[in-house]
Amino acid sequence: MQEAHVSHISKVAIVGGGLAGCECARKLSLAGVHVTLFEMKPERFSPAHQLEGLAELVCSNSFRSDQQDSGVGLLKQEMRELGSLTMSAAEATKVPAGKALAVDRDLFSAHITREMEQDANVTLVRKEIPSLDAPELLGFDAVVIAAGPLASESLSASLAQAVGGTHLYFYDAIAPIVSADSIDMTKAFWGSRYQPDDKDYLNCPMSREEYFAFHAALIAGEKAPTKDFEKEIHFEGCMPIEALAERGEMTLAFGSFKPVGFTDPATGQRPFAIVQLRTEDLNKSMFNLVGCQTKLKHGEQARIFRMIPGLENAEFVRFGSVHRNTYVNAPKSLGPDLSLSSRPDVFLAGQITGVEGYVESAACGLWLGIVLAARARGLKIPPPPPETCLGGLLNHLRTEQKNFQPSNVQFGLTPELNMRAKKKDRKSLYAERARERFAAWLESVRDIL
């Protein structure tokens, strides 16, 4: 695809006040570009949103691993070096989560909302934008659609028309959250895998009998219906627990319920299976059921998840749910600068492009902000090398596939090492190469940034 050429940028409209939209807005603001940020809440809420604030985390409160030998951990570090608003907000509102980076979602949203409201170059407008041709978007030099995977039906339809066909979609499932006061602490215990003294996670041990009874209940549980005209397609990284259970009796025990590294202090033995609960807030008053994203009906969730030892009297702060995620076939629909091939003054950012996950969505918005900010100064910035995590993620959006699917960041999106290495060493080698390439690229573009 040829890159779009927007010759002059001084005013930009951004549709969507999520992670990608706010990241993009901040970078443009720092370049002296005036941004009008349109957010439909509280005028209208998507099926998964509840807070009025910006950058609401509707699924997990975790930004996943912070380890520097993991793709997502390294991507976060690259974002920090590029001045990411998401990363600074996460550091300011983080909660204990072992080797992961997790946040108090209310404080996180409030932090970013405050940053946007206090930014002199950002005008926050609480209004729904129903289409790419909405009159509110007239007069801007560029329009960024960062409406996320839950874009309204009307905006999604307008986008589908612009890309020349029916847009792609998949279903995403979120896990329930329970009140800490309702957990039976005589059965649950603190600890992370191999770290019994760690108090970042609560663990609910299951015996063989309890596990298989729970598994059977998941299989038989009544699911929330899917609309007749929509084919149900789940992203592999967000499979509902009941869909995973249908793959086999031991799928959960070998997956998110794996007991390896745990000893139940009540018995001194390794449990047959274990359900981990991750703290949702700084006060540890709420816990997310890790790996329990679900499309079960609410009554069924209460009944089945209370079969987990320690959760017999669980009070649900939020039930799990399923929602439709919208994204485009980026290699066919977008130019290298994330502009629509059919509308070069319209750009996409975040999960709607086909990246998957909080960190990846924010990184996409951050990068688009950098690109447009450079363009506002009459400059062009080369993309990060494909060996870097950000570069690999952006390359995914340019690589045509028979069946384009959203992707989390991973070293598999970067070029092969082209060297023989033991399996246990490969991640560290990928990470070392990525850090070297990113550092060299960053030094070469400092005058543009």
Lowest mean pLDDT among 99-108, 189-198, 233-242: 233-242
Q: Domain boundary residue among 289, 323, 357?
A: 323
Rounded CA-CA distance 327/405 in Å is 9
Is residue 277 over pLDDT 60? yes
Verify that 314 and 416 share a domain, yes or no.
Answer: no
- Span 150-176, average pLDDT: 81
d(CA 282, CA 97): 11
17 annotated as ligand-binding: yes
Task: Supply the DSSP string of 78-144, one letter for each residue.
Answer: HHHHTT-HHHHHHHHHEE--TTEEEE-HHHHHHHHHHHHHT-TTEEEEE----STT-GGGTT-SEEE
| H/E stretch holding 279 | strand 273-279
Q: Judge whether residue 408 has pLDDT over 70.
A: yes
Q: Residue 429's domain is classified under what CATH number?
A: 3.50.50.60
pTM for the model:
0.82
| pLDDT one-digit tens code per residue, 316-374 | 988 998 777 789 999 999 999 999 999 999 999 999 999 989 999 999 999 999 999 99
Residue 416 domain flag: yes
Of 268, 291, 323, which residue is a domain's last? 323
Distance CA 390, CA 360 (A): 8
Q: Per the domain annotation, does 449 fall within a domain?
A: no
Distance, in Å, from the CA atom of 392 to the CA atom of 414, rounded to the nearest integer, reads 5
Q: Does a structural domain hold residue 3? A: no
In this structure, the chain runs to a length of 449
HSE at residue 53, side-chain half, CA atoms within 13 A, is: 17
Please tell me whether residues 318 and 409 are part of one structural domain: no
- Residue 184 and residue 136 share a domain: no
Q: 30 CB contacts (<8 Å, ≥6 apart)?
A: 83, 373
143-159: per-residue pLDDT in tens?
999 998 888 889 988 99
Mean residue pLDDT of the chain comes to 91
46 within some domain: yes
Say if residue 86 is in the same domain as residue 189.
Answer: no
Instruction: Tell me the residue type at 296.
Output: L
Output the six-digit token pair for 25.
């807005």
Same domain flag for 177 and 314: yes
Alpha carbons 223 and 85: distance in angstroms, whole number? 38
Q: Is residue 4 part of a domain?
A: no
What is the predicted pLDDT for the residue at 6? 52
Say what the pLDDT of residue 233 is.
66
Residues 177, 289 share a domain? yes
Q: Cis omega (within 30 of 0) on the bond before 42?
A: yes
Residues 127 and 157 placed together within one structural domain of the fold: yes
**CA 399, CA 2: separation in Å to the nearest integer?**
14
Q: Does residue 179 sit in helix, strand or coil? A: strand
The pLDDT of residue 90 is above 90: yes
Q: What is the pLDDT of residue 230?
A: 46
Location of structure tokens 């998941």: 218
82 is an annotated ligand-binding site residue: no
Residue 374 assigned ligand-binding role: no
Number of alpha helices (DSSP H) and beta strands (DSSP E) in the chain? 12, 16
First-to-last alpha carbon distance for the chain, in angstroms, is: 25
Residue ranges of alpha helices (H) inside 170-290 are 208-220, 241-245
Predicted confidence band of residue 228 (pLDDT cuts 50, 70, 90):
very low
Range of the domain at 22: 11-167+328-444
Give the range with max mean pLDDT: 52-61, 145-154, 225-234, 435-444: 435-444
| Nearest CA among 259, 258, 275 for reference residue 214 | 275
Flag whether 260 is in a domain.
yes
Per the listing, tokens 């990411």 go with 84
Cα angle for residues 340, 342, 346 (degrees, 5° grid) = 40
Other CB atoms within a 10 A radius of the CB of residue 386 amount to: 19
CB 210 within 8 A of CB 307: yes
Which of 290, 323, 356 corresponds to the end of one domain? 323
For residues 444 and 384, give the distance between their C-alpha atoms in angstroms, rounded to a whole number: 10
CB 310 within 8 A of CB 187: yes
The answer to whether the annotation marks 21 as part of a ligand binding site is yes
Please check whether residue 405 lies inside any domain of the structure. yes
- Residue 444 is inside which H or E element, if any? helix 423-444
Residues 132 and 33 in one domain: yes
Whether the pLDDT of residue 229 is over 60: the answer is no
* pLDDT given for residue 10 in this prediction: 94
Q: Is the pLDDT of residue 28 over 80?
A: yes
pLDDT tens digits for range 245-265: 999 999 999 999 999 999 999
Per residue in 1-26, pLDDT tens?
Answer: 334 455 579 999 999 999 999 999 99
- CATH number, domain at 266? 2.40.30.260
Tokens 């792609």 belong to 168
Overall average pLDDT of the 273-278 stretch: 96
126 and 153 belong to one structural domain: yes
Q: Determine the Cα–Cα distance for residues 149 and 298; give it in Å rounded to an integer.
A: 23
Tally the domains of the chain: 2
pLDDT confidence band for 165 (50 / 70 / 90) = low
Amino acid at 68: Q
Whether 106 and 40 share a structural domain: yes
* 20 marked ligand binding residue: yes
pLDDT tens by residue, 416-433: 898 887 878 888 999 999
Q: Is 342 among the domain residues?
A: yes
The pair of structure tokens assigned to 384 is 């990060």
Same domain, 246 and 112: no
Closest to 150 measured CA to CA, from 321, 298, 36, 318: 321
Domain check: are 226 and 188 in the same one?
yes
